Amino acid sequence: MSQTYSLVNPYNNEPIGEYQYTSWDQVEQKLALLKTGHKTQRDSSAFERANVLARLAELLKEHSEDLAQLITRETGKTISDSRVEMMRAVNATIACSEEARQITGEALDSDAYASMGKKIGIVCWRPLGTIFCITPFNFPINIAIHKIGPAYAAGNSVLFKPGPQNTATARRLVELCHEAGIPENVLQFCMPEMKELDRLNAHPDIHAINFTGGTAAANAIAAAAGYKKLLLELGGNDPLIVMDDADLEGAVKAAINQRFATAGQRCTAAKRLFVHEKVYDAFRDLLVEKSSELVVGDPAKDETFIGPLIHQGAADQVRGFIEDAIERGATVAMGNQYEGAFVYPTILENVDPECELMVEEAFGPVMPLFKFDDVDAIIPIINNTAYGLQGGIFTNNLALIRRLFEELDVGTLAANDGPGFRTEHFPFGGVKESGVGREGIKYAIREMSFTKTLVL
């Protein structure tokens, strides 16, 4: 008999539902079914898969409001943020549909380096098999689409495990995928107990694992997976640099939207702000002014900008980061207030570059400000973290942008935008403990494929 788990709304603790974990016997049945899906996928065409994904995009658009409401209820994300997520999910699905038609190989002459009999090598991309897709709580539809869509477009079968908090959202997404035309033997939902995950990650019928989440979980996946292909999108401690020639209003807007939205629970959030001393006071004052206008409260209301964190434990962890920074000499420019799972938007000054808030990933609405007078001084501070996902800089100095692009340990540097910039067809991923491989629809399709060569 499978165990059960209960979920509550993070905002008001109202019960959402009680669900059953997927038993190990059920997991093995699903994997056996997905194995039959390999032939189903081989017998389908890129044209057919593209059309299925186009239908899925229409269904997501048609049901976007219901799904947004469900996301808000399950995660505490504001309804406006959930609606933006649904818009992005639709766009990502359209991109999957278009990229499904563009999977191309190449032809190579064999005599490029020596006479090899005038052969031609025809290089094709082929699916890996069954992809185990694991998603976090913060973007339950969009991140799922960024995994399921490319995996399906490449011709794979998919075993999909969301974060437990997203059970109802994920089930509804799978229903819509099946309604669009993805066969049941090509996509299956599962929610095994935590104790079964190592066994599942090691299962011989799993051929690749695509995971978004924390480093500790990724380490466990890697230890269990052996030689499986891994695509890991992990955390970030992303810097936003504001130079003395910056558009301050644009920089403040980016800082607020990319740190305080989703209650700061984004891997690409602007988690550390480095502000040039010549504009520091003006930037801080404008940042505090604009941030103090943000509405904190019921995430179901249109005017709310910041809702609760996913649960009380998450709020307690962020509070610990803030208290550590204050103990090390930081001063509070704004915030440092708490109420249940709510952490009110907090801005800190005089932050020790060695404190947890500057070195670790803080998943909540807290913004440390660091004043500097020389870029050379902040490059080692920015790079002094286990993470290297994205970065942002506000300046008109192209030479500086190009220099930082080379010297910062990040996968993406956004000029005159924050580190939270992402669009569906750009490569997405980092260095160091921010992950392995690249998402972004075209790039994810390649990650979930292998090359196969025919010599003629």
Residues with catalytic function:
233, 267
Q: Are 207 and 228 in contact (CB under 8 A)?
A: yes
Give a three-class secondary structure readout of 96-107: HHHHHCCCCCEE
Between the alpha carbon of residue 195 and those of residues 162, 199, 209, 220, the distances in Å are 16, 8, 17, 12
* Residue stretches of the annotated binding site for NAD(+): 135-137, 214, 361
CA distance 271 to 293: 20
CA distance 393 to 274: 9
CA distance 434 to 190: 26
Q: Where are the alpha helices (DSSP H) in 6-163?
A: 24-43, 46-62, 64-75, 79-100, 142-153
Element (H, E) at 159: strand 157-161
What is the SS3 assignment for 237?
coil
Between the alpha carbon of residue 271 and those of residues 146, 213, 291, 382, the distances in Å are 24, 17, 15, 11
